[in-house]
């Protein structure tokens, strides 16, 4: 085998291939993906299912004159291999040279950074309309996954495509599941479309005014090539519905599609249920809720289409029965759904990743804050993580603590966390957001007083300098206080700000008596965050305030330790900064 992939340097090389070479190329890419992703970790299942479609797109269309947009873009590995970045998947040591998503900084063939879902068709509509305004005539192609279809923005985009009216080719990749099994009534229509090979009269896409084609053999590169050639240059929007298999060609991935969606580095491909369980907030939450739900049938766990990232394992979901609800990738709906549940007398607990919660900002304001809906929101993944910029969870404080009517709690220890969760579920007065900490710190729950949910906890009482920290960053406060004592002989005060939506004003005011500096710590961006509110509070007074947290910037896969250094989020840096103030 000469190796077709060896000869592919750019899409132009794919356009020239014969049918036999196309088939060979797909096999080579699939083997490369299985070997390399097994080592590096990454999105395995979604990419294995989309090998043939990507090759066919590059063979038929004239990139980069024609424009290709990936929704969510976690299925872009083959695209990267065909656009000059194959070493990332041939040599695991090169994997980190590129992101796992499309990125215009990497390649002219990548048009957008996209990590959240359901925006692809909207972006495509914009490209199509711009083309029309400028009098150009290229194709605009959008790859949309079936998981992304549950998100309202995808509906908005499809609904608008007909209004734009000109060439727009939506390749709808139907692998019969989202990250988890699909949720939503529309998936019955998709099943009917698959069963009838696209011939049934009832057709979601056509009701939105779109033309429609169906390709059953979504992993057959030649069938796809024919289908794409048919729609190339079409003068109106069309959906090409292709039926693919997630994890295609790799037995383990086909058998455990949810686990195979994204795998860890050096994956052992064990049975998912055999995976080692570490003591984590995910586990702590499951154990607590299992018991709570058993005693109270009105408690319900809600998730928006991404249960694995927040610890809602398939086993736990099954245990919950009707007390679990996956709304699909629909954060807006999920928050309003929780408001409805709460008003109806149930006790909803919404599990959400900080980064995806951004999509429900207006619902936090209107459905939770303004309506005082007693729902509990558990925000996971908030803070500094070594992750793609698209998935950063550093804006959650901005979008919750600044909204009237929402009580925001930041536990430092697991016992505090459980006390807050228990209180929040049963109270009936207000929406509560709990910022689930990164690390599990042991410690007593006494710090949180359900009778005074806006109260803070003073860990150590000192003078001159007070540390005021959110969540598990109290550890760093304690460390800095110890170092301050060692180096300067100062006994600092250390406070856990258990509630970051309001102030324990009597505690703050008491600091004015014998403190000269308040140091705030939070794992989030400082702009619009907690520390700034403290700075404003003390603004008119002689108290100095020094805030630690993140800069307003996008960090792309920066190792945690590294930006702890950049942000002076270490005891030594903090103490040095304090000393430099010469108070």
Q: Does 241 bind a second copy (CB under 8 A)?
A: no
- Looking at residues 419 to 458 of the shown chain, list those that interact with a second copy (rule: CB under 8 A): none
Quote the least distance from Cβ 243 to a second copy, whole Å: 17
CB of residue 456 to a second copy, shortest distance in Å = 18
Is 41 a binder of a second copy (CB under 8 A)?
no
| Cβ-based nearer residue to a second copy, 202 or 461 | 202
Q: Which of 84, 126, 443, 455 binds a second copy (CB under 8 A)?
A: 126
Q: Which of 17, 368, 403, 497 binds a second copy (CB under 8 A)?
A: 403
**Hey, what are 251's tokens?**
């037995």
Structure tokens at 83: 């656009």
- Choose, by CB under 8 A, the member of 306, 465, 546, 574 that binds a second copy: 546
- Cis before residue 64, ω within 30 degrees of 0? yes
CB of 157 to a second copy, least distance (A): 5
Tokens of 67: 């424009």
Residue among 158, 178, 152 at smallest CA distance from 332: 152
Task: Report if residue 418 touches a second copy, rule: CB under 8 A.
Answer: no
Binding status of residue 361 toward a second copy by CB under 8 A: yes
- For a second copy, which residue of 163, 315, 386, 509 counts as binding (CB under 8 A)? 163
Candidate list 32, 37, 68, 183; residue touching a second copy; CB under 8 A = 183
The smaller minimum CB distance to a second copy, of residues 414 and 493, is found at: 493
Of 241, 333, 430, 459, the one binding a second copy by CB under 8 A = 333
Q: Which one of 46, 54, 139, 150 is in contact with a second copy (CB under 8 A)?
A: 150
267-326 positions binding a second copy, by CB under 8 A: 297-298, 300, 322-323, 325
Q: Tell whether residue 547 is a contact of a second copy (CB under 8 A).
A: yes
Q: CA 524, CA 438: separation in Å to the nearest integer?
A: 12
Selected binder of a second copy within 13, 159, 319, 475 (CB under 8 A): 159
Q: Which is nearer to a second copy, 130 or 275 (CB)?
A: 130
Using CA atoms, how far apart are residues 153 and 442, in angstroms rounded to an integer?
41
- What's the rounded Cα separation, in Å, for the pair 470 and 410? 6
Q: Is 114 in the site for a second copy (CB under 8 A)?
A: yes
- The backbone torsions φ and ψ at residue 521, rounded to the nearest 5 degrees and listed phi first, read -135, 130
Q: N- to C-terminal Cα distance for the chain?
A: 73
d(C-alpha 346, C-alpha 219), whole Å: 45
Residues 6+ apart with CB under 8 A from 260: 44, 45, 246, 247, 250, 252, 253, 254
Phi first, then psi: give them for residue 287, nearest 5 degrees: -60, -40
Distance from the Cα of residue 177 to its chain's centroid: 18
Residues 48-87 within binding reach of a second copy (CB under 8 A):
67, 69
Task: Decide if residue 374 touches a second copy (CB under 8 A).
Answer: no
Collapsed DSSP state (helix, strand, coil) of residue 348: strand
Share in percent of the chain as helix, strand, coil (round to 5): 45, 15, 40
């Amino acid at each position: 085998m000469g190796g077709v992939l060896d000869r592919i340097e750019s899409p132009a090389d794919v356009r020239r291939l014969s049918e036999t070479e196309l088939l060979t190329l797909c096999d080579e890419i699939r083997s490369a993906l299985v070997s390399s992703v097994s080592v590096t970790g990454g999105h395995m299942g979604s990419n294995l299912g989309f090998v043939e479609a990507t090759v066919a797109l590059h063979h038929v269309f004239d990139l980069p004159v024609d424009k290709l947009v990936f929704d969510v873009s976690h299925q872009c590995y083959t695209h990267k291999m065909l656009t000059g970045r194959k070493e990332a998947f041939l040599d695991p040591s090169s994997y980190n040279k590129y992101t796992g998503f499309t990125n215009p900084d990497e390649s002219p063939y990548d048009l957008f950074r996209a990590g959240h879902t359901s925006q692809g068709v909207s972006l495509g509509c914009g490209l199509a309309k711009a083309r029309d305004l400028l009098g150009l005539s290229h194709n605009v192609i959008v790859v949309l996954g079936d998981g992304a279809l549950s998100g309202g923005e995808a509906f908005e985009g499809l609904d608008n495509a007909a209004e734009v009216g000109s060439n727009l080719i939506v390749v709808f990749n139907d692998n019969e599941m989202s990250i988890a099994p699909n949720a939503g009534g529309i998936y019955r229509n998709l099943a009917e479309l698959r069963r009838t090979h696209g011939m049934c009269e009832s057709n979601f896409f056509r009701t939105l005014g779109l033309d429609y084609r169906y390709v059953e053999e979504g992993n057959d590169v030649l069938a796809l090539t024919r289908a794409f050639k048919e729609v190339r240059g079409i003068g109106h929007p069309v959906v090409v519905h292709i039926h693919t298999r997630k994890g295609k060609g790799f037995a383990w991935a086909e058998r455990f599609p949810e686990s195979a969606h994204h795998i860890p580095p050096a994956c052992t491909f064990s049975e998912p249920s055999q995976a080692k369980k570490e003591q984590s907030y995910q586990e702590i939450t499951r154990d607590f809720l299992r018991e709570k739900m058993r005693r109270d049938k009105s408690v319900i766990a809600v998730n928006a289409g991404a249960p694995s990232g927040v610890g809602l394992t398939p086993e736990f979901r099954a245990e919950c029965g009707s007390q679990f609800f996956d709304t699909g990738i629909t954060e807006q709906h999920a928050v309003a759904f929780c408001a409805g549940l709460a008003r109806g007398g149930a006790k909803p607990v919404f599990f959400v990743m900080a980064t995806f919660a951004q999509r429900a900002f207006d619902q936090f304001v209107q459905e939770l804050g303004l309506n005082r809906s007693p729902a509990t929101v558990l925000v996971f993944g908030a803070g500094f993580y070594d992750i793609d910029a698209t998935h950063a969870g550093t804006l959650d404080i901005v979008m919750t603590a600044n909204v009237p009517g929402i009580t925001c709690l930041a536990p430092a220890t697991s016992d505090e966390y459980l006390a807050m969760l228990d209180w929040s579920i049963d109270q009936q007065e207000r929406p509560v957001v709990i910022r689930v900490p990164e690390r599990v710190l042991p410690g007593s729950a006494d710090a949180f007083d359900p009778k005074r949910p806006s109260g803070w906890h003073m860990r150590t009482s000192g003078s001159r300098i007070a540390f005021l920290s959110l969540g598990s960053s109290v550890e760093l406060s304690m460390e800095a206080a110890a170092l301050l004592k060692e180096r300067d002989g100062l006994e600092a005060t250390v406070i856990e700000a258990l509630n970051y939506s309001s102030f324990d004003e009597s505690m703050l005011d008491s600091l004015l008596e014998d403190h000269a500096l308040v140091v705030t710590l939070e794992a989030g961006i400082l702009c619009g965050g907690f520390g700034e509110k403290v700075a404003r509070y003390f603004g008119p007074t002689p108290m100095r305030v020094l805030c630690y947290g993140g800069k307003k910037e996008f960090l792309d896969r920066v190792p945690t330790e590294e930006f702890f250094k950049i942000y002076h989020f270490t005891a030594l840096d903090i103490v040095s900064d304090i000393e430099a103030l010469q108070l």
